[in-house]
Structure formats: structure tokens, C-alpha cells
Structure 1
Amino acid sequence: MARFRLGLVGAGRMGQTHLRALAGSERVEVVAVAETSETIRSSLKLPDGVKLHADVEEMLKAGGIDGALVAVPSSHHVNMVARLAVAGLSILCEKPCGITAREARIASEIAAKENVLLQVAYWRRFVPALKRLKDRIAQGEFGDLYLVSCYQWDEMPSPASFRATSGGAFIDMGVHEFDQLRWLTGQEISHPRVATANTVFAERIEVDPDAAQALCDLSGGASGLISLGRRFPLGDSCWAQVFGTKGFEDCRFFWPPNGEKVFLDALRLQAEGFAEAVCGRPSEGATAADAIAALTAAEQASAAMMKGRTR
């Protein structure tokens, strides 16, 4: 089978992470990179044969790609999805596919109108430990669920300049957890109630507290907990816990010191799954509808958080 030729749009931090993840893939090959920043372009070290373009128009004009991976800043997701969709390319867009549910909905409508695949890069769906946990929940191994908790705690806070403009903890970080919670349980999220800590590690950011927790209702009768933190001394970590009438599981799927390998492996599997979906095979990736749902929940939690912090 011929390797799937992928065009990468955006070669900043996340774009370069995708390049590392795909370096060992036998199914997907990055053959072109579009990056508007001359500083970034001059610093890139690309494998032989990868074409570097100053913008997406130049990349599209050159042709020779089967699909595109969008890794530009979230505020540019919708415009980039629109441009690639009009060109007839299937798209794997970094999460959250816009910074609001409205933007994700616009991206979805554009992709549907142009009849192209739009998959959103919620990489947790490609982590083997989480896939096993999802299957065990679906098979009833835990009985009726009481609580499913999803945690994401970073080793160190991001720069204050980023945190002040990223949309806040629930938009920047929490969309991963909201998507993961829906995907694991097969249940919808509603009525988030939020608590935030006053503890500060480096600098207080009003729209992005160091720790925020959202307790939600799930449509099947269970509760969901989203736990986010900007300072975790053990290192960048993500884990999930399932409490049911028949069992309990503590799934530390992204845990020091092996977190980076789990992340890169999942990114590779995600891109390979995208390639299979473009070729007409069933997709395991997140849809635009999933992105809309995650952003809707994140927006509701953010509104609850700001209401509580301004009382």
C-alpha cells in the first residue's frame, strides 16, 4: 500500500511534535510543510524530500498531497479548514477546531458543504490503555457507573502571556478531558459546577487559575469530574478513574517518565487512522460534532468558573 502523503500546515511547537511522531510511520509521510514565520522556517530541520512552503497557498499550488494536518494557532483553525476544504483536501485539525463551539460548528458546515473529511485531533482516543478502559466500561465490567474522573495536571504553568489569552483552563486544557469523558462513557455532559483554588505557584492569572475542577452530570446517571492543574511536581500527567457498582480502575495512561512516548505513539496512530478514514475505512477519530460538544461543555464550565470568581 502506498504511503499517505500529508501536508503539515503550521510548524510551531505542535507542528514539530507531529513531525517527530510521524518520523517512524510506515503508513503516513509528511511530504510538505507550510509555515508563514520566516524565523520558524529558517530553524526547521526537515528530512530530505520534504518541501517547505511560505504559506498554504504555495503548498496547495505545488500539489502532491492526499490530506492536510492543521497545526496553526486555534484562532486560525476555521479559516484554514475553510481554505483546505475548498481545495478538496481532507483535514486533520488540531484540537479544539476553533476556540468556541460556534467556530467548530462553522468548520463542520464548511467541510460538509465541500464533502471532505474533517477529523479533530483528540489524540487520547488512540491511547491503547484508554481504548481498553472504554471497552471495559461498554462491556459492563464496572457495573453501573457512579463517577468517571479525568485529570490533566502540567508540571509547570505555561507563560503568563499565553494563559491570559488562551481562553482559560477549560478551553485550553479542559476540552481534552470533556472529549475523553464523553468518549469513555458514551454519555453526554451537562450542568458543570466549578471550584477553583486560590493557590498560586508563579503568577496569578484571573482567567486561568492554577487549579480548576468541574463536577458534571452525565446523561446515563453518573457524575463526571474534570480536574485541571498548572503545577504538578511529578511532571506532566494525565489519568482517569472509574467508579462503578462492580469495580474501580485508576488508569495512569500518561505518567512520568513515559508520557512523551505515549503521546508521540498516539499522534502517529491518529494520523494513520486519519489516512485510513480518507481511504474510506471506518474512523476512530473525533468528528466535528465531537469537537462542538467538547467546546460547548468547556464554554459552560468557563462561564461557571468566571461567575464564581466574580462574586
Structure 2
Amino acid sequence: MPRTLDSKTIEEYLQVLDQSEDDMDSSGGEEADEEIYYENNRQLLADLVNEVDAEHVDFFCGRNDLNKFLGILIYSSIVKNPNFRLYWSDQYGYEPIKSTMTQKHFEKICYVLHFNDNTTHLPQDHPNHDRLHKIRHVIDELNTRYATVPLEQRLSLDEQMCATKMSHYMKQYLPNKPHKWGFKLFLICSIYGFVHKFEVYSGSEKYLHINGELDLGPTGNTVVRLARIVPKRANHIIYFDNFYTSVPLVTYLAKEGIYCLGSIQSNRIPNNKLPDKKTLMKKTVPRGH
């Protein structure tokens, strides 16, 4: 049965929103958990006022609930199960998760989870439309936290798959990856695999160039954006493969005081006089030629 709407219930939600908004203001709006908490309860209030799906809005997602929810996600990234509901099963369940929150409550939070204000999402025909608007705050917050870790001298830049079985228009297929289907991430990492910055591939969207950055094409621009966190003229070296390497990119990074090393496709070398791959593969060509 739909929940009966009353002024007292709305007033409770408004008090929660006012308090969480004050908390964000006092922290400069930089605490990700405060923002998630605020957006969640604002969406719950909107659903309640519109009497939408009352089964899922008839509860508060408090700060403690949100922290437990995030903790379960962290645990599940380490202790793997083929199906998320197995964490609560009698045979394959994981006690730290089972004792933290019930499966039903966890799934309710999943259903209503919000990270950003839907009313600020620009339409698709707008020049500043962001396909990742709903999780933009999470991406920015993670990159801010990752960037606080000091950089190693040697860095690697490559793409990685965030595996998923869900249906989504941004889902990619990369046959040479261990996980072939998922969301494609571009990331810059240390030699130990720690991610210092990442981007989620969202298709042919326009990105702003800052501080006189050149337009080096989609792949070159990706390197330039990720390399913004690398200090200039500090002997840092970025390694990448032939998907990214080009003469204009290497030249630009050199002028910026950032070393790089990568293999390159022969068709990206101007006035290339090297033998083609078919010729080099012949047995008559000396090895190492």
C-alpha cells in the first residue's frame, strides 16, 4: 500500500536536509560522504512528495548506514563472490558483511543511492552535457584523494576495464583485456600499480583545454589531461604504448618538462622510411635489423 503522506514526515526529511547542508557548508563542501548523504535524502524527499515507489522511500539513509554501506563495498572488492547476495547466504556468507547490515536494507540503499543533484543534469543537446553527471562528484573526490599520494619518478599510463555484466550504452569491448566487457578507464599509475588519477571513457565528449594545452587528438588529449598532476621539470617519466604515442605528443610533453617513453605505430611517424611490418617479418631480414 502506498505510504500516507503527512506534514510531519516531510518536516523530518527537511530537518535532515537542512542539517546535512549545514555540515557541507562548514566543511567547505569537500567531504564526499556528507554530499552523498545530502543527495540521498534529498532524492528520498522528492520521491516521497511525489508518492513514487513508497516501498523504497519509507526509511532514512543515515550517516551510519551510509558508512556501513561503503564499508561493505570495500569488503566485497577484496573478498570476491560471483553473486552479491551470496555474502548473506548461510553457506557462502561473509560474517563481517552479514553482521553489518541486512541484505534487504543494503539493497534498499542501492535502489535510492544518489551522488549528485538530478535537477542540475544538463540535456544531451547542451554543449556542456556530462554523461557522468550522476557520479561526477565521486570521480572528482577520488582523484583529489589519489593526487595527495606523492608520485614516483616512473609512471605508467594505460587503459583498464571495470568489468560489469550490466547493460549500458557506455559499456566497451576490449578483446585483449582479461575482462573483455565493462567500462573503460584511462589511468596514470605508479610502478606499484597505485592509481594517481583516472578518467572514465564516456564517448566523444568535449573537454576543456587549459593553460594553452594543444589539441592532440582524442588519445593525445587523454595523456595531456592525466599528466596535469605530474610536476614539470622534476625528472618524471611516463610510459605508454603505441595507442597513445605520437610525435606531437612527445614534443609537447618535452616542452612541458615531462619525459616519456613508448612504442609508436609506423603510420604516426612523418616521412617514415623504415621497412613495413611485412618486410621486417621476412626471414631474409637479419634479426634486430
Higher Cα radius of gyration: 2
Same fold (TM over 0.5): no
TM-score, length-normalised on structure 2? Answer: 0.23
Higher strand share: 1
Q: Say which structure, 1 or 2, has more relative contact order (CA 8 Å, 6+ apart).
A: 1
How does the TM-score come out when normalised to structure 1?
0.22
